[in-house]
Amino acid sequence: MTAYILRRLFRMLTVLIGVTIVVFGFVRLIPGDPAVVMLGERANPQVVEAFRERLGLNKPIFINVQNPMDTQFFRFAGQLSKGDLGAGIKSQIPVSDELKARFPATVELSIGALIFALVIGLPAGIIAALNRNKPLDNVAMTVSLIGVSMPVFWLGLILVYLFAVTLPWLPPSGRMDPSINFDSITGMNVLDSLLRGRMDGFLSGIQHLILPSIALGTIPMAIIARITRSSMLEVLSQDYVRTATAKGLNHRTVVLKHALRNAMLPVVTVIGLQVGLLLGGAILTETIFSWPGIGSWLAQGIFERDYPVIQGGIIFGALVISVVNLLVDVSYAYLDPRIHYS
Amino acid sequence: MKRLAISAALALSSAAFAAGGTLVYGSGGQPVSLESGNITDGNSIIVQRQIYDTLVDFADGSTKAIPGLATRWTSNKDATEWTFTLRKNVKFHDGTPFNADAVIFNVNRWWDPKFEHGYRDSGKTYEIWGQLMGGYKGEAAGFLKSVTKVNDYSVKFTLTSPVTVFPDLIGSGYFGIASPTAIKAQGAKYGTPASKPVGTGPFTFDSWKTGDRIVVKANPSYWDAKAQVDEVVFRFITDRNQRLNELRAGTIDFTSDLDPQAAKSMKNDAKVDAVLKPSFNVGFISLNVRNEYLKNAKVRQAISMAFDKKAIVEEFWGDIGVSNASFLPPVLSWANSKKVPADYKYDPAAAKKLLAEAGYPNGFSLDFWYMPVSRPYFPSPKDIAEAVAAELSGIGIKVNLKTKDWAQYLQDRNTAPYFDIYMIGWTGDYGDPDNFYSAYYGPSASDDSGYNPKDLADLLEQGKAAKGQSAKAKIYAKIHEITYNAYVRIPVVHSQPLAGKAKYVKGWVPSPLGSEAFNKITIDGKK
């Protein structure tokens, strides 16, 4: 197992190096550069050129025949080897500081979305499978189909309009009521407010989390429901399930103990993929709900062609997805004792 | 007498009760930096204005220069030497004194590329200084020659050429005076969320949660009108619909840069007021005289007559847009020529005739580029472009509507082969006509139109050097006439950016320059 994990970690490193080179090149292929965006309407050619020079954007990207080390890439690689992802062109804020400040917000939202997806998606999938082709199945699958096909930004705005503006039950956006202040510990407001014993912060944090979690969790919820259903159907038709039923076990034990655990393998894979995507930052949801996570920051970085921000955000996203994939693979061994890694 | 005393005490206590509280502003996004002089984005400037003061301030809701950290300023006869008398007994939030050394320290940071506390090696660019002041120390184009201390409370700026508008420039919201002690102590990270910006302004910096909010607290020892609230929270809400939702839900108290369409929904909401900011921008259609058709002035004139600006402005801006024939917003109308008609004539039949006279009776086709993003001057560029295109087709000009990514759009408009016709605009930095004209006409302007006659360039130079409004008005009247008859930049609108506030927010007077201090705002009656 250890050897397997080490091998996977090495492979992860090569993937990250590849991602770094590709992202570095591709980011610079996007037309329009940071100088132009930052200067906006002021961007006349002389000013842009002076700005590019000051930022070092006039240097060759990968290859410089006269002075091979004097390229944008080597400068970046040099920084990266010291663990420095650079600083945002516009803000001058170190990318690593931004990631540190924003990742907890993204994790908190991802957990909220995942809880919503699992709490609704898993039972819906199980119920649909147990009631195959009956009205309950049809209802669950229709709802999940709608969930998959609904654009997140549209759903987000509708939720806000219904539950924050028309019926003022929940706050429209943000993470916490502006009047509530306490020093953060982990950066996850809900957890921190509990640790600090601030019930007002806890309640406000949960209230702020509900709408974005639903918006972000709807698609994973629908996917999980569908996968759970099909996986359960497959398992329920297996001989050992029939045997378990035949030997007189009650239906509940058969479903939850015998069928569900075995049906979970593909579901865990899907959940893992979804977690990776969620933690990489939910661009639309975070933007709509002014959620200060990785996604809204990356979106802004892309609009502004802030190269260090885009590079840092994508490399970090790739790292998160790789780690989550590894954890999912390792969890297989727990779920199915027949799986061994060597 | 006793009754009077009691009612006075009651009035006092109710006044004390009314003051205080938390004022929440829905900001269009996170500031780029709270370091003065290093950025231009509105989200940064509005927060900076609360923390910093500038040497010269502007009267509420106007562009008229009034004393700020400088109590008075004088120049020599030809406006090449400017002496500012500084306000005494002003302290930075860190307790250090504001004086001539502090002013010179700040100016050197922005102006001198070799200044040790400029931190340019960390990527700081102070771009706006170069743009407003011509260039940096050691560059021929920069017009600041030196900045010297006359005494502890007097500073002299010597310029290489006459600049009559210098007080407006140095007083623009970009150049807030920061504490040298704080800058030296915090180094290159000054202005980032990890720093503590220090100025002399009505509010002191408290905290900045990345991506979420900034909190500033009332400065109890402010030299001018003290803040009426305990603190201001700037929440970062990038989506403008969401800002409207937050305002209507009561989770923010006031906000800016709303969609013009939001005015209607605010009208039907008993809890909020729409606020129209004074217009200080121009949205226009730019024609490229390098184009084989557009090089003919008759063709350009025909285009100017082919679309009904008034109807378009009414349709897309409603009450919040003004259409006229000036490149300058209404507050600068003193610089317009009386000989120029109020607006371009709308006469499609005459336009068609002009096209025929120019040799194109059957018309021709052109690319018309519209911007992919909404700006205060063009809130819905695509719809506006479609309306103009439909009218141009009426006189035989077939228009191919095109757009591209904003970054690329800004770049390609200035790069060969350039755009034939495109939409763009400008929002002013300070209250002088030169700030508008020189951005799009003359030698330092955008290179998109290929139009740069010498007489216009000369007049622009004279405008910069002219002293007093009446001398300037004469020169800018000529510039107005020339540019009007050139039909190169056809002004479509001066829009009033739409803002909104809760009914209980009182005393907010938005500035045409985009940033104003919040110290006079009260929130009496906020639940």
Judging contacts by C-beta atoms under 8 Å, the chain B residues touching residue A161 are: 245
Q: Which of the four pLDDT bands, split at 50, 70 and 90, describes residue B7?
A: very low
Judging contacts by C-beta atoms under 8 Å, the chain A residues touching residue B424 are: 41
In the A/B pair of chains, how many CB contacts fall below 8 A? 163
Question: Do residue B241 and residue A157 have CB atoms under 8 angstroms apart?
Answer: yes
Q: Do B289 and B200 fall into the same domain?
A: no
For all residues of chain B together, what is the average pLDDT?
91
Q: Tell me which of B71 and A183 has the higher pLDDT.
A: B71
Q: Do A73 and A176 fall into the same domain?
A: no
For A178, name the nearest residue in chain B, comparing CA atoms only: B233
Question: Do residue A171 and residue B248 have CB atoms under 8 angstroms apart?
Answer: no
Q: Do B424 and B485 fall into the same domain?
A: yes
The reply to whether A39 touches chain B by the CB within 8 Å rule is yes
Q: Is the dihedral of CA A230, A234, A237, A241 positive or negative?
A: negative
Q: Do A73 and A104 fall into the same domain?
A: no
Q: How far is B484 from chain A (nearest CA, A)?
A: 21
pLDDT tens-digit map of A315-325: 999 999 889 88
Question: Do residue A172 and residue B246 have CB atoms under 8 angstroms apart?
Answer: yes
Judging contacts by C-beta atoms under 8 Å, the chain B residues touching residue A308 are: none
pLDDT of residue B259: 86
Q: Alpha-carbon Rg of chain B, whole angstroms? A: 25
Report the CATH number at residue B467.
3.10.105.10
pLDDT of residue B16: 40
DSSP H/E element including B105: helix B100-111
The reply to whether A172 touches chain B by the CB within 8 Å rule is yes
Q: DSSP states of B384-421 as a string?
A: HHHHHHHHHHHTTEEEEEE---HHHHHHHTTSTT--SE
Question: Do residue A160 and residue B245 have CB atoms under 8 angstroms apart?
Answer: yes
Judging contacts by C-beta atoms under 8 Å, the chain B residues touching residue A283 are: none
Residue B64 and residue B412: Cα distance in Å, rounded?
Answer: 37
Residues of the domain holding A302:
95-335
Q: What is the pTM of this model?
A: 0.84
Q: Do B188 and B294 fall into the same domain?
A: no
CB within 8 Å of chain A, chain B residues 418-447: 424-427, 439, 444-447
Residues of the domain holding B357:
281-495
The percent of chain A in helix, strand and coil, each rounded to the nearest 5, is 75, 0, 25
Residue A11 lies in a domain: no
HSE, side-chain direction, 13 A CA sphere, residue B59 = 6
Q: Do B195 and B300 fall into the same domain?
A: no
Are residues A228 and A212 in contact, defined by beta-carbon separation less than 8 angstroms? no
Among candidate residues A170, B174, A68, B381, the one with its CA nearest the CA of residue A77:
A68
Mean pLDDT confidence for A87-97:
85
pLDDT tens-digit map of B243-257: 999 999 999 999 998
Judging contacts by C-beta atoms under 8 Å, the chain B residues touching residue A212 are: none
The reply to whether B211 touches chain A by the CB within 8 Å rule is yes
CB-count exposure of residue A330 (10 Å: 0-12, 13-18, 19+): middle
pLDDT of residue B19: 65
CB within 8 Å of chain A, chain B residues 236-265: 236-239, 241-242, 245-246, 248-251
The reply to whether A2 touches chain B by the CB within 8 Å rule is no
pLDDT tens-digit map of A210-238: 999 999 999 999 999 999 999 999 998 88
Q: With a cut of 80, say whether residue B5 has pLDDT above it.
A: no
Q: With a cut of 70, say whether residue B422 has pLDDT above it.
A: yes
Pairing of strands B70-75, B81-86: antiparallel
Residue B152 and residue B89: Cα distance in Å, rounded?
Answer: 12
Mean pLDDT confidence for A154-163:
91
Q: Do B516 and B478 fall into the same domain?
A: no
Q: How far is B173 from chain A (nearest CA, A)?
A: 17
Residue B1 lies in a domain: no
Residue B207 lies in a domain: yes
Q: Do A209 and A79 fall into the same domain?
A: no
Q: Do A47 and A123 fall into the same domain?
A: no
pLDDT tens-digit map of B105-161: 999 999 999 999 999 887 788 988 988 998 899 998 899 999 999 999 999 999 998
Q: Do A78 and A111 fall into the same domain?
A: no
pLDDT tens-digit map of A239-277: 988 898 888 888 888 888 888 888 888 888 888 888 888
Structurally, how many domains does chain B consist of?
2
Q: Which of the four pLDDT bands, split at 50, 70 and 90, describes residue B478?
A: very high
pLDDT tens-digit map of B338-364: 999 999 999 999 999 999 999 999 999
Q: State the Cα torsion A233-A238-A244-A248 to the nearest 10°.
A: 70
Please list, in sequence order, all residues whose beta carbon lies within 8 angstroms of the beta carbon of residue B364, skipping any fewer than 6 positions away: B293, B396, B397, B398
Report the CATH number at residue B82.
3.40.190.10
Q: Which two tokens stand for residue A62?
A: 């990968």
Residue A16 lies in a domain: no
Nearest to B249 among A98, A172, A177 (CB): A172
Q: Tell me which of B361 and A34 has the higher pLDDT.
A: B361
Structurally, how many domains does chain A consist of?
2
pLDDT of residue B449: 92
Q: With a cut of 70, say whether residue B516 has pLDDT above it.
A: yes
Q: Do B96 and B195 fall into the same domain?
A: yes
CB within 8 Å of chain B, chain A residues 297-316: 297, 300, 303, 305
Q: Do B53 and B163 fall into the same domain?
A: yes
Residue A325 and residue A272: Cα distance in Å, rounded?
Answer: 6
pLDDT of residue B464: 87
Q: With a cut of 80, say whether residue B275 has pLDDT above it.
A: yes
Secondary structure (3-state) at B144: strand
pLDDT tens-digit map of B9-31: 444 444 443 468 999 999 998 88
